[in-house]
Structure 1
Amino acid sequence: MRNDRTGARRVRLRAAQGVALLTAAVVAFAPAASAAADDADVDRHLAEYVRVHRAPGLALVTLADGDARVRVHGTTGSGAPVGEDTPMRIGSMSKAFTALAVLQQVDAGRFELDDPVVEVLPEFRLGDDRYRSITVEHLLTHRSGLAATGLEYSSDPASAPAETVGRLAPEKLAADPGTTTLYSNAGYAVLARLVERTADADFGPYLDQNVFEPLGMSSTTVTERCDAEPAGLDRGFSLLGPVRVGVPELPLACAGSGGIVSTARDMTAWLRFQVGDGTSATGERLLREETFRAFHDVPASGTEYGYGWHGTTADGDDAPLVGHGGTLATFASGIEFSPVTGTGAVVLANAAGDPMALTHDAVVAVDGGTPLPMTNPFDPFNAVLVGVAALVLLAGVLVVVRSRRWAERRAAGSRRATVLRLVPLALVTLLGAALPWLGATLMGLSEPVAAYRVVLWLYPAVVLLGVALVLAAGGGLAARLVRLRGEQVRRAPGPRR
């Protein structure tokens, strides 16, 4: 009996040891398995983004548990493969850099956020006396009353921040300062000029010395106009469905609001800084702790704005998420991160799309939350316009083909009735020529050259429809006039002898 009991104890001991070893193996394997699952989800979201938005080239940076990974896809405008060091325009993600520079001036005691801008920057003035009550914080949070202006889409946009400030002199406010959020690129140009004045340095060199160098962002540069092409930057793409065309960027005023060019490697350093404590990787403090917390204190509402950041938490998500998108004509970007969990993502793409959907889905793949739907609203928009354009051209062909019969019927009729029947074709021709301008007018653009250029770059299907209307109606009008003249000559009585 004793030997039986001893043997039983040995069996139970060995079983317990086996369970312990198995448990330890499961515990050790669980994080790796979880990370592998997260990676698979991110890969799936990336593949879906490429499929839906037909991205010619992009880089996706993900950061989780302190580990960063860069995924790349596609090629640049010159056909080179996209890599970690491929320069890309980051668009309005630049605003967070401007906000950081402003907050550094606050930390240095050069002004306060509630100081009126005109007291710190006397050259700032508008054609509206309410501008005197605009504060630095109003500009940071897009609550200055300045709305989007046609200045940034001018045929000859401003370059330096000081030039933009000078051109604002005739502008009126769209709302009382501090009352509503109106997104304003010009407001961030004013902030860039504010930094220049208080730091006694041009804005680009200031960021080089006080932001890029401490963070190790050696490949990041600042441009004052969106169409500037620094060394190594390939052109991006304009897309119409599956058609890709490499084109130069629109000449827009970008100082302080959207002019930074960076790489996936450098944006990894920027992302690490955002989920840190306000210091660089080498321990250099860029912002005081309390200022750094305020830097990420974004309103929960998606219609409000913080200091260079949006709150991007989706419905049903608990963790606060901070982020910002950047959209230009030929590049698009997005960044999103959780200051609580340290998870984040950055997307740099060389064509239009919805990078914020991909950054969000990459973050929630790790932290949990509600993924955003990966849709492209331009696909049905473009499909409808292209389809209408095709029908318009077909109708134009029919008008041309039937122009002889039309002329035969009208040659003997009254001139007034004939002219009235030609008026619709003339009006449709004018409509086609004016269609891009009408679209730009809805965007608040009034300068014709800039209007046509902006619509051509951003909404090529609208231009395609306009061209179809001109070709169809104009061609039909010309064919009828030629046939009518020929028929009249044919019917005219010959010379009498």
Structure 2
Amino acid sequence: MKKMQLMTLALGAGLVLAPAAPASASPAELESAAVDAYLTRAWESTALPGMSVVVTYQGKVVHAAGYGRDAAGRPVTERTPMRVASLSKSFTAMAVMTLVEEGKLALDEPVVNRLPDFRMADPRAEEITVRQLLNQTSGISDATVDLGAAESAPSLAGYVAELGSGKLAADPGTRWAYSNANYETAARLVEVAGGRRFGDYLKERVFEPLGMSGSAAGDPAVRPADGFNSLFGVWMARSELRDFPYGGGAGGVVTNAADMGKWLISQTGRGRQLVGAESLAAMHAPSEVHDYGMGWGKQSVNGADMLVHAGNLFTYTAVEAIDPETGYGFAVMTNSAGLYDDTYDVLTGLVAMSQGDTPRVPGGDRQLIEVILGLVVLAAAGLGVLGVRRAGPWAARRAGRSGRRVALRLVPVLLPTVLLALYPATISFLMNGRTITWEQLTYHAAPLTITLVVAAVAGLVTGLARLRAWRSVGSTR
């Protein structure tokens, strides 16, 4: 639910929310034509390749449409398939809750009761409950499990098995830590308790009952085109770093704006219901230690308290939000991912409109960030060339000085190299312990990654040239 992608956090930016809106006008005043006009401007100003959006209100779809094109050159419509990344968690929570209502699972029973293969190198893991998986309070952390091995597994059963060498970062139920491992384990629970593949269960018990005919998880027939990454202002089509052949309870859902409208309506307690009102409320309620519920988190958007979840999957970005009190629902999905997440800005504008306020048309932030980084790249490369050319005079001025003093003088130019070496670990720390790999950093983080690489290489080459020149000067005296 961040306004910025994880890489922007590395630049020191945080969540920026719009100020609270004044007393809203009647929600019924929101009309499709007005929404379309705003979204058209937003798409143009953000320069996103493609965007699909749906707005619902009290059981009806106000507006569902697509803007732009996909990587194959086809127009994006309300039925264009989009990866929704971590929005998948709300669907996984719903699948679990349908099994809870059937008595095949219980929220407060240990996971190992229903999933005997769930074992970790930590005896506390036997205490983890189904509820704690969904609330992200199980104690599982990216930093204490081998996510690389788990994500390479060909099935959910294999994924869970790879968690066996991991430990917990905290006692179950005492601390919140966002980890995809919680929801992949929950998806495996659905397979075991539901008696079928996770994607099949979602299709039969969630998608089909709601009429979401264009939605799937792990179905090759429902596959979106490649998405895009922005590289210094230029959108480049790229395939996903990771596929989800087994469905993926943490991020494997593919859907479209028309289907998301049906989902949002159901989540506001209107239209076709998959579970009872108490179960729906339980999914929306925060845990005892965090505002995150079960695939939804409480958050203020333009001054309105809403349930929100955002997601990013290398080349796709999405955000969903509902207001159970007013019956409004919103979903913004893009076939792109950059340093700056425009979907949250578009959502904020839609919420403002639902309040009778005038929305701010988003756009320009991503472009500005990438222009600045591009200038840094040029400056770093230029300084590197200059540093090498002037290595001789630099060394001559320091002839006769001790190696320690010279080494201290080289620290500033070598600092970017140190930062590059610590890059994944630093971003993981800024992301509250989420594991970030070098491969991931070459996707929507590409502009920042390239900037750091160029600065590091320039500094390293300059440092080596200066050291070599200093030694040469010393040997001639």
Q: TM-score range with shorter-chain normalisation?
A: 0.7 to 0.9
- The whole-number CA distance in structure 2 between the counterparts of 1:168 and 1:428 is 36
Q: 1:260 aligned to 253, 261, 283, which one?
A: 253
In the TM superposition, residue 405 of structure 1 has moved relative to its aligned partner by 5.1
Q: 1:305 aligned to 292, 307, 310, which one?
A: 292
Whether the 8 Å CA contact 1:117–1:124 is kept in 2: the answer is: yes
In the TM superposition, residue 223 of structure 1 has moved relative to its aligned partner by 2.8
Alignment of 1:57-76 (within 5 A): 57-64=50-57, 66-76=60-70
Q: Look up the match of 2:18.
A: none
Q: Look up the match of 1:286.
A: 274
- Classify 1:112/1:482 alpha carbon distance in 2 versus 1 (closer, same or farther; 3 Å): closer
Cα RMSD (Å) = 4.1
- The whole-number CA distance in structure 2 between the counterparts of 1:456 and 1:303 is 32
- The whole-number CA distance in structure 2 between the counterparts of 1:47 and 1:74 is 12
- Classify 1:444/1:113 alpha carbon distance in 2 versus 1 (closer, same or farther; 3 Å): closer
- The whole-number CA distance in structure 1 between the counterparts of 2:189 and 2:255 is 23
Q: Deviations over 1:182-232 (max 9, x none)?
A: 2221111111111111111110111112122222222222139xxxx7665
Amino acid of the structure 1 residue aligned with 2:235: R
Amino acid of the structure 2 residue aligned with 1:288: G
Amino acid of the structure 2 residue aligned with 1:248: S
> Quick check: which has more Rg, 1 or 2?
1
Q: Look up the match of 2:449.
A: 463
In the TM superposition, residue 395 of structure 1 has moved relative to its aligned partner by 1.5
Alignment of 1:63-212 (within 5 A): 63-64=56-57, 66-149=60-143, 151-153=146-148, 157-212=152-207
Matched residue pairs, number? 445
- Classify 1:370/1:324 alpha carbon distance in 2 versus 1 (closer, same or farther; 3 Å): farther
Amino acid of the structure 1 residue aligned with 2:380: V
- Classify 1:390/1:435 alpha carbon distance in 2 versus 1 (closer, same or farther; 3 Å): farther
SS in 2 for 1:346: strand
In the TM superposition, residue 105 of structure 1 has moved relative to its aligned partner by 0.5
In the TM superposition, residue 463 of structure 1 has moved relative to its aligned partner by 1.9
Whether the 8 Å CA contact 1:189–1:256 is kept in 2: the answer is: yes
- Classify 1:121/1:160 alpha carbon distance in 2 versus 1 (closer, same or farther; 3 Å): same
Amino acid of the structure 1 residue aligned with 2:184: A
Matched, 1:251 2:242: yes
> Which runs of no fewer than 5 residues in structure 2 stay unpaired?
1-24
- The whole-number CA distance in structure 1 between the counterparts of 2:102 and 2:381 is 64
Whether the 8 Å CA contact 2:442–2:449 is kept in 1: the answer is: yes
- The whole-number CA distance in structure 2 between the counterparts of 1:175 and 1:438 is 20
- Classify 1:479/1:100 alpha carbon distance in 2 versus 1 (closer, same or farther; 3 Å): same
In the TM superposition, residue 102 of structure 1 has moved relative to its aligned partner by 0.6
Amino acid of the structure 1 residue aligned with 2:440: V
SS in 2 for 1:81: coil
SS in 2 for 1:305: coil
- The whole-number CA distance in structure 2 between the counterparts of 1:203 and 1:232 is 17
Whether the 8 Å CA contact 1:181–1:304 is kept in 2: the answer is: no
TM-score by length of 2: 0.78
Q: Look up the match of 1:394.
A: 382
Q: Deviations over 1:28-62 (max 9, x none)?
A: xx9999445x74256326623652x4321111112
Which of 320-329 and 109-118 deviates more? 320-329
Which of 168-177 and 192-201 deviates more? 168-177
SS in 1 for 2:336: coil
- Classify 1:372/1:163 alpha carbon distance in 2 versus 1 (closer, same or farther; 3 Å): farther
Q: Deviations over 1:443-473 (max 9, x none)?
A: 58899xx722122223223322233234423
Q: Look up the match of 2:333.
A: 348
Q: 2:267 aligned to 258, 264, 274, which one?
A: 274
- Classify 1:406/1:178 alpha carbon distance in 2 versus 1 (closer, same or farther; 3 Å): closer
Amino acid of the structure 2 residue aligned with 1:472: A
In the TM superposition, residue 262 of structure 1 has moved relative to its aligned partner by 1.2
Q: Look up the match of 2:10.
A: none
- The whole-number CA distance in structure 1 between the counterparts of 2:204 and 2:268 is 21
- The whole-number CA distance in structure 2 between the counterparts of 1:322 and 1:348 is 17
Q: 1:321 aligned to 299, 306, 318, which one?
A: 306
TM-score by length of 1: 0.75
Amino acid of the structure 1 residue aligned with 2:295: G
Whether the 8 Å CA contact 2:146–2:166 is kept in 1: the answer is: no
In the TM superposition, residue 311 of structure 1 has moved relative to its aligned partner by 2.3
Q: Look up the match of 1:215.
A: 210
- Classify 1:61/1:41 alpha carbon distance in 2 versus 1 (closer, same or farther; 3 Å): closer
In the TM superposition, residue 369 of structure 1 has moved relative to its aligned partner by 7.3
Amino acid of the structure 1 residue aligned with 2:218: T
Whether the 8 Å CA contact 2:53–2:78 is kept in 1: the answer is: no
Whether the 8 Å CA contact 2:42–2:346 is kept in 1: the answer is: no
Larger RCO: 1 or 2 (CA < 8 Å, sep 6+): 2
Whether the 8 Å CA contact 1:436–1:455 is kept in 2: the answer is: no
Percent identity between matched residues is 32
SS in 2 for 1:321: strand
Whether the 8 Å CA contact 1:275–1:339 is kept in 2: the answer is: yes
- Classify 1:485/1:157 alpha carbon distance in 2 versus 1 (closer, same or farther; 3 Å): same
Q: Look up the match of 1:22.
A: none
Whether the 8 Å CA contact 2:199–2:217 is kept in 1: the answer is: yes
- Classify 1:368/1:391 alpha carbon distance in 2 versus 1 (closer, same or farther; 3 Å): same
- The whole-number CA distance in structure 2 between the counterparts of 1:383 and 1:237 is 18
Q: Look up the match of 1:365.
A: 353
- Classify 1:302/1:176 alpha carbon distance in 2 versus 1 (closer, same or farther; 3 Å): closer
Q: Deviations over 1:238-280 (max 9, x none)?
A: 124422222222227772111111122222232233235462x
Q: Deviations over 1:391-416 (max 9, x none)?
A: 32221121233346567x49997996
In the TM superposition, residue 96 of structure 1 has moved relative to its aligned partner by 1.2
Which of 237-246 and 478-487 deviates more? 478-487
Whether the 8 Å CA contact 2:50–2:69 is kept in 1: the answer is: yes
- The whole-number CA distance in structure 2 between the counterparts of 1:47 and 1:387 is 28
- The whole-number CA distance in structure 1 between the counterparts of 2:129 and 2:198 is 20
